[in-house]
Amino acid sequence: MMLEILLEIIAPGNLLMMNLGMAAGIIIGALPGLSVILAITVLLPFTFGMSSLPGMFLLLGAYCGATYGGSITAILINTPGTPNAAATVLDGYPMAQQGRAGDALKAALVGSTFGGMVSCLALIFLAPLLAQFALKFGPAEYFSLCIFGLSVVISISGGSIAKGVVMAGLGLLLSTVGIDPLEGISRFRFGRSELLGGITTAALLLGVFAVGEILMKSYAGEKGSGKILEYQKATVKIRDIFRYWKTMLHSSFLGVFIGAVPGTGGAIAAFLSYNITRSRSKRPEEFGNGCLEGVVAPETANNAVTGATLIPLLTLGVPGDAGMAVMFGALTMQGITPGPALFTDDKFWVCCIMGGLILINLFMLLQGSFFLRLFTNVTRVPVEVLIPCIMIFCTLGGFSVRNMVFDIAVVLICGFFGYWMKRFGYPLSPLVISLVLGSLTETNLRRAMVLSKGSISIFFAKPLSLTFLIIAVLILCMPLIKRALSAGKSSNRRGVI
């Protein structure tokens, strides 16, 4: 079986999709203001008509490539290409100002590859164990798990819990449009036959993330990417970078842990890793002034997230972040249902994905080593040229899902909606993830209620279900708890005075 898996992974078509996705991801990630989610979303329409493996390899290549690509602009123009690279700016740009841009870019590449490989190993060894455990889940446990996942996304997606709850509720409401999953009755379609199949995940994603981002950039009046510092050839050797192997290890483990928790992401992992590395360093004063270790730590951590985010998606069917929500949509369109049964019913496919992810990270190292100077030139692409091109891809992508003009309208409406929600500070991740989880949440809620004959006690009688619910409540109430504790400390201080 191992030979068959290897032959499938190295099939010319699969290798081509890995490299195309990687190159596209690096380019999109290197363009300031664009995101990892946008890279995956723009390529999603190209997977229609492909078989599941090449399509997944294309999206995974874009995911890993965009996560790394954000470091290029972070180092050269002091502007992170993606939020994941925000911490890389702190030492990457000072290095470029010192004439060491090549060293910083090479350190980011090596750290990204190392973190990605550790993440692949975590996926290979941890995912099957979690899948075996998840096979014991019943409807009550799955419903509580969905609530837990939504609570995490809501709690960290913005400054206001209330806004996160509103967006999650809206996503759950949109997931009910179409055919009832249990009774087969049409609902909330307002006489439109196009809504019998519901609102497609691809159209919503292309709208709120891609079109919404385009409108935001247009509103901001951006005219170009700005002047970049010239690329200088790297003088640092790989062995010099591996002097920080301890930093790379603990950053990788941190990234894997954060990536495996639904609702987190690479930006959190990068900043945590940077702060921990600086606090543990014998020369913390060097950080922020062009420290090589200050580039290695965040880049290793944010790329260690990539493989780990697949763990909850493949084993539990719960997307860990908005990027994985796109992956979830791509898989369901291919007729593949993520979940613990995947590891028993389609083990060959899962093994190919795991092995392919290792190759994708190796290709990232090769492409970065040979074409880095070429990739740096994409920072000079004028925004006024870039925006129309992405807009065309978005509208074509919305149409190609079901070949319906109606879906183009959905993309545009969702785009304006996403734009205004961003303007008013409403987070978009809860909307997308709740739409993806909506059917799973509703189906398991109703199945659990049927099993318990209408009693909600089934959610509290099951230990695992109760645990998920308690954690979800604590996560949502944490801001109130912190506020109460802060108020108590302030009153105590005033009493002492």
pLDDT at 359: 93
Strand partners, 74: none
Q: What is the DSSP string of 35-73?
A: -HHHHHHHHGGGGTTS-HHHHHHHHHHHHHHHHHHHHHH
In 135-189, which ranges are continuous DSSP H helix? 139-156, 161-174
Nearest Cα to 387, choosing from 211, 206, 228?
A: 211
Tell me the C-alpha distance between 414 and 309, whole Å.
26
Token pair belonging to 276: 């921990």
Structurally, the chain folds into a number of domains equal to 1
pLDDT at 114: 93
Is residue 114 classed exposed, middle or buried when 0-12, 13-18 and 19+ CB atoms within 10 A define those classes? Answer: buried
Instruction: Say which residues have a Cβ less than 8 Å from residue 460's Cβ, sequence separation at least 6.
Output: 466, 469
Nearest Cα to 59, choosing from 44, 38, 37, 49?
A: 44
Nearest Cα to 435, choosing from 211, 185, 198, 142?
A: 198
Largest separation between any pair of C-alpha atoms in the chain: 75
Nearest Cα to 279, choosing from 250, 304, 241, 240?
A: 250
Tell me the C-alpha distance between 300 and 4, whole Å.
32
pLDDT at 226: 43
Is the distance from CB of 336 to CB of 52 less than 8 angstroms? yes
Nearest Cα to 178, choosing from 438, 405, 414, 447?
A: 438
Is the distance from CB of 1 to CB of 37 less than 8 angstroms? no
3-state secondary structure of 177: coil
Residue whose entry in the numeric block shows the structure tokens 């002047």: 227
DSSP one-letter code for 81: S
Residue whose entry in the numeric block shows the structure tokens 């925004």: 383
pLDDT at 92: 86
Which residues, given as ranges, of the chain have pLDDT below 50?
223-227
Tell me the C-alpha distance between 69 and 112, whole Å.
10
Tell me the C-alpha distance between 169 and 269, whole Å.
27
Instruction: Say which residues have a Cβ less than 8 Å from residue 312's Cβ, sequence separation at least 6.
Output: 149, 260, 261, 262, 318, 319, 320, 324
Tell me the C-alpha distance between 366 and 369, whole Å.
5
pLDDT at 21: 92
pLDDT at 224: 45
Instruction: Say which residues have a Cβ less than 8 Å from residue 43's Cβ, sequence separation at least 6.
Output: 21, 24, 58, 59, 62
Tell me the C-alpha distance between 58 and 15, whole Å.
9
pLDDT digits (tens, 9 = 90+) for 90-109: 888 888 888 888 888 889 99
Q: Model's pTM, two decimal places?
A: 0.75
pLDDT digits (tens, 9 = 90+) for 244-281: 888 899 999 988 888 877 656 667 788 878 888 888 88
Tell me the C-alpha distance between 497 and 490, whole Å.
11
Is the distance from CB of 374 to CB of 72 less than 8 angstroms? no
Tell me the C-alpha distance between 58 and 225, whole Å.
27
* CA-angle at 232, arms to 230 and 233, nearest 5°: 155
pLDDT at 81: 66
| Residue 251 structural domain | 2-496
pLDDT at 228: 52
